[in-house]
Amino acid sequence: MSKRDLKKYLKELDKEQLEEQLLELYEKFSDVKVYYDFVFNPKEEKLLQEAKLKISNEYFPLRSKRPKLRRSVAQKYIKHFLSLGVDPFVVADLMLYNIEVAQKYSARREMRYTSFYKSMLNSFEQVVKFSIENGMISEYKNRIFEIKDVAFKQNWENKKEFERPLDLID
C-alpha cells in the first residue's frame, strides 16, 4: 500500500475507528509501543545511560570474563535513537562514547584484529559527519580531536586515516 492510498483510507475512517486502529497497533507491535512511550515520556538521559552501560559491558563485562567487543551493539542503539528522534546531542554523545570506551579497552589490551580498527574508523567518520550535519561540531570538537590523538598514542594501524575526517571540520 502506498502512502497516498493509506492517506485516502485514513480519511474514510471516523475518529473512533482511527483510535481503535492506533490502540490495536500499540498492543500488537512493540516498536509502536516503544515509539509512543518515548513520545509521551521522553527520558533521553535514562535511555542514554542504559545504552552506555550496554556498550561498556561489551568491553568491560560485569558478569562474564570475556569481552565480546561487538560494535553492532552500539550501532543498534544509535539507529534506535535516530528512529525515535532523540536529540542529536544525545546521539552524538553516544557515538563518541562508543569510540572512547573501545580506546580505553585497547589501552589495556593490544588489539590484533584489523576489523576492530576499521570499525572504529567507520564510527569516527560517522560521528564527525553527524556532528557537522547537525551543526554541533563546536560542542564535540575537543572529544573528536582527543579520539584522534589517542589513536596516534596507541599506535593504531590506521591512525593516519583518523586525520582525513578532520579535514571536513576546518
Q: What is the domain range of residue 143?
A: 44-168
What would the pLDDT profile of 87-116 be if each residue is shown by its tens digit? Answer: 999 999 999 999 999 999 999 988 888 999
pLDDT over 70 (residue 40)? yes
Report the percent of the chain where pLDDT is more than 90. Answer: 74
Q: Are residues 33 and 59 in the same domain?
A: no
Same domain assignment for residues 51 and 34: no
Q: What's the per-residue H, E or C state across 58-107?
A: HHCCCCCCCCCCCHHHHHHHHHHHHHHCCCHHHHHHHHHHHHHHHHHHHH
Confidence of residue 63 (pLDDT cuts 50, 70, 90): confident
pLDDT at 113 (0 to 100):
86
Both 137 and 54 in one domain: the answer is: yes
- Asked if residue 119 and residue 147 are part of one domain, the reply reads yes
The predicted-structure confidence for 119-165, as pLDDT tens digits, reads as follows 999 999 999 999 999 999 999 999 999 999 999 999 999 999 999 99
Do 59 and 85 lie in one domain? The reply is yes
Q: Do both 99 and 23 map to the same domain?
A: no
Residue 31 pLDDT greater than 70, yes or no: yes
Cα angle: 154, vertex 157, 159; to 5 degrees? 65
Q: Are residues 59 and 25 in the same domain?
A: no
Q: 86, 44 in Cβ contact below 8 A? A: yes
- The pLDDT assigned to 170 comes to 65
* Distance (Å, whole) CA 148 – CA 130: 16
Tell me the C-alpha distance between 59 and 65, whole Å. 10
Q: Count structural domains, the chain.
A: 2
Q: Are residues 1 and 74 in the same domain?
A: no
Same-domain status, 109 and 151? yes
Name the burial class of residue 99, with classes exposed (0-12), middle (13-18) and buried (19+) by CB atoms within 10 angstroms of its CB. Answer: buried
Same domain, 78 and 159: yes
Same domain, 10 and 54: no
Q: Which residues make Cβ contacts (< 8 Å) with residue 25, sequence separation at least 6? A: 32
Cα separation, 59 vs 68, in Å, equals 6
- Does one domain contain both 36 and 49? no
